Amino acid sequence: MTKVDTTYESYAQDNHYVSVNRQLVSEVDLGAVSRVADLACGTGLLSRMLLERKPGLAVCGIDLDPVQIELSRRGLEEDGARFHESLEEWRAAAEAGQGGVHLRVDSAMELPFADGEIDLVVIGNAIHMMPDRPAFLAEVARVLRPGGQFVFNSVFYAGTFVEGTEMVFTEMMKEAVLAMNELNAERKTRGEPPVPRKRGTVKRAFQQTEWVSEAGWAEAVEAHGLTVTMSRQTPVAISQRGLELVGGYGGLAEVLMSGYPVDIASECMQAGVARAFANLEISEVPRNWLEVTAKKAG
């Protein structure tokens, strides 16, 4: 079986993931932007790309997971970023026009910023994970200054599956479950107990009750005083390796194979991808990314 890496690091480095994010970042108008909030920043991909474009930015990266924050720190360090350990220090540096990065383990649902303090809020491929969509969007609108921008993308929305490709993802799940069954059969022959599975822990995918369509996201955003300035669905080809990295990501594996130890779930998901690609004799699968930019009135 393929190597198990349950963090988001490898996934975020895959070509398709990097290029779709780079394209979106390249289109953001950074002219009047100084303070940026990168919500659910993960490995800091968007922060790094934004700082590459405009090194003087003051970027605050927020993620619930300390492991991701550590990965962000490492990447940004490699890029030579200057860090501020407290929000107050970060704020003072921004006011002095010096920029720099402040990273914090925190929820994106309750932002530590004052009203109107932020010029640009970005959230890369995580908006679908926010447990309360209106509350999240109200927070974004609150912290943005008049004329401030909101940018997000997501590959988990109604419309992400390119017509005719759903069966690839069904096949992947079928094969992942078969891989788990085979693992259990092997364990049985060795006299070992089956892989433990916690019952009653089944999470609904990404906590939300439904995936939202492109029109649904536009409506939700505009209900909070933000005007959509661009919305599109971009088909992106994902290679077998790319999808193995997606499936191997612990955050996804623990949802899709809920209740199993995350490393074993991740391993089976990766096997599921490899077998689905072999069974269907494909080398890549397209999937749509939703990309949205919006502006606060003013």
Ligand X SMILES: C[S@@+](CC[C@H](N)C(=O)[O-])C[C@H]1O[C@@H](n2cnc3c(N)ncnc32)[C@H](O)[C@@H]1O
Q: Give least dist CB 69 to ligand X, A.
A: 9
DSSP 8-state symbol, 123: E
- Using CB under 6 A as the binding rule, whether residue 107 contacts ligand X is answered as yes
Stretch that binds ligand X, among 23-31, 57-65, 76-84, 262-270 (CB under 6 A): 57-65
Do the strands 284-296 and 144-154 form a parallel or antiparallel pair, or are they unpaired? antiparallel
Binding mask 110-139 vs ligand X (x if CB under 6 A, - otherwise)?
A: --------------xxx--xx---------
Contact mark string toward ligand X, 250..269, x via CB under 6 A:
-x------------------
Pairing outcome for strands 144-154 and 118-124: parallel
| Shortest distance, position 184 Cβ to ligand X, whole Å | 29
Quick one: which of 36, 49, 81, 108 contacts ligand X (CB under 6 A)? 108
CB nearer ligand X, residue 183 or residue 238: 238
- The interface region with ligand X, picked from 59-67, 159-167, 173-181, 277-285 by CB under 6 A, is 59-67
Find the shortest distance in angstroms from Cβ 129 to ligand X.
4
Which range in 29-37, 64-72, 95-103, 222-230 contacts ligand X by CB under 6 A? 64-72
Contacts of 282 (CB under 8 A, 6+ apart): 168
**Footprint on residues 35-54 left by ligand X (CB under 6 A):** 40-43, 45-46
Output the smallest distance, CB 97 to ligand X, in A.
26
Distances (CA, A) of 12 to 22, 125, 237, 277: 12, 10, 15, 21
Write the burial class of residue 8 (CB in 10 Å: 0-12 exposed, 13-18 middle, 19+ buried). Answer: buried
To the nearest 10°, the Cα dihedral for 167, 168, 170, 174? 130
For 139, 155, 165, 252, the CA distances from 162, given in Å and listed in that order, are: 32, 11, 6, 20
Closest among 123, 89, 119, 120 to 109, alpha carbons compared: 123
238 binds ligand X (CB under 6 A): no
- The three-state (H, E, C) secondary structure of 158-210, written as one string: ECCECCCCHHHHHHHHHHHHHHHHHHHHHHHHCCCCCCCCCCCCCCCCCCCCC
Which member of 9, 12, 76, 150 binds ligand X (CB under 6 A)? 12
Residue nearest to ligand X (CB): 42
Q: Which is nearer to ligand X, 10 or 179 (CB)?
A: 10
Residue 96 CB, nearest approach to ligand X (Å):
28
Told to check if 8 binds ligand X by CB under 6 A, we report: yes
Say whether 39 sits in a helix, a strand or coil.
strand
CA–CA separation, 222 and 228 (whole Å)? 7
In eight-state DSSP terms, residue 157 is: S
Looking at the Cβ atoms of 129 and 180, the one nearer to ligand X is: 129
Q: Which residues bind ligand X (CB under 6 A)?
A: 8, 12, 40-43, 45-46, 62-65, 68, 107-109, 124-126, 129-130, 251
